[in-house]
Amino acid sequence: MHLLLTGGAGFIGHHLLAALYAKYPGAQITCIDNFDPFYDVAVKENNIQPFLSKPGFRLLRIDLGQTSPTQLTTLIPEKVDLILHLAAKAGVRPSIQNPEAYQQANVGGTKNLLDFAVATGVRQFIFASSSSVYGINDHYPWKEDEELIPISPYASTKLAGEQLGKQYRERHGMRFIALRFFTVYGPGQRPDLAIHKFTRAILNDQPLTVYGNGNTSRDYTYVGDIVQGILGAMKYSDSNFEIINLGNHYSISLIDLIRAIEKITGKSALLQYGPDQPGDVPKTYADISKAKRLLGYDPQTKLETGLTAFVDWFTSNR
């Protein structure tokens, strides 16, 4: 089996790599990552280091948004059985300042990879989408057939990726599965995300900024559960196009999240409040019945367990 994984040096990507080697020890894995300096590149270098010596592993340090399908076929001459496309330019708020860069990386990069898949006969394409495509929608919990109202350029690029996948399925018969991730956390989480920032501030006795009144809430999903959902999607073959939520079916407020981190760390947060941020939605909450039915998805990690694992990782990797 030859698997092509994009974004493998990132947070979710390196967890998925470990799971792939555990499940498919003889697989050949080609990993594409451009080591975007959105956060410290040394973090990604550390993530990917354990895999560089694995038999059958190859790392391509390229930018998909600037690499043509023809160039990809030259770089990857072997037959690819399945594509796992996690790579994306991340961040809702930064996308508002530079939407063109997000368009090129997330939409252009996805199109280049889809064209490569068509040219080389890849039979299954799994795309990492985002809960941000729902936007501001009070029909909780969100089902996959909800009206979509993305309110940031980042969210719009993820929706565009889903729509490209649908077009390629109709024109080329490829199986395309879009997985909408809901606020993934756990050991190795990106330093710009809330749980990482809050833990760092609390343990370092630094002020912690809460935007708005602290009542915004998120469906926090442990990275191990997300990985199990991706592995389930790899085996799915009953239809050629699906959009599937991967969440925890539980939404917790920002202030309750902070209290939970306080309890685990044994320290109090120094709270300061700021205005609501553009691009942020008031609440996310996933209906995961489709994922359970199609993928056997069954998230098991309670928030306290997942937060404890993250705090343990953080204190060991400062």
Active site (annotated) includes residue 154:
yes
- The catalytic position among 154, 185, 285, 297 is 154
Task: Kindly report the length of the chain.
Answer: 318
Q: How far apart are CA 89 and CA 157, in angstroms?
A: 10
- Closest among 217, 218, 191, 202 to 271, alpha carbons compared: 202
Give me 200's structure tokens: 């760092």
Give me 153's structure tokens: 């350029």
CA-CA-CA-CA torsion for 19, 24, 30, 31, nearest 10 degrees? 0
Q: Coil, helix or strand for 175?
A: strand
- For 168, phi then psi, to 5°, come to -70, -35
Q: CA of 211: how far to CAs of 103, 191, 215, 217, 254, in Å?
A: 27, 17, 9, 12, 9
Residues serving a catalytic function are 154
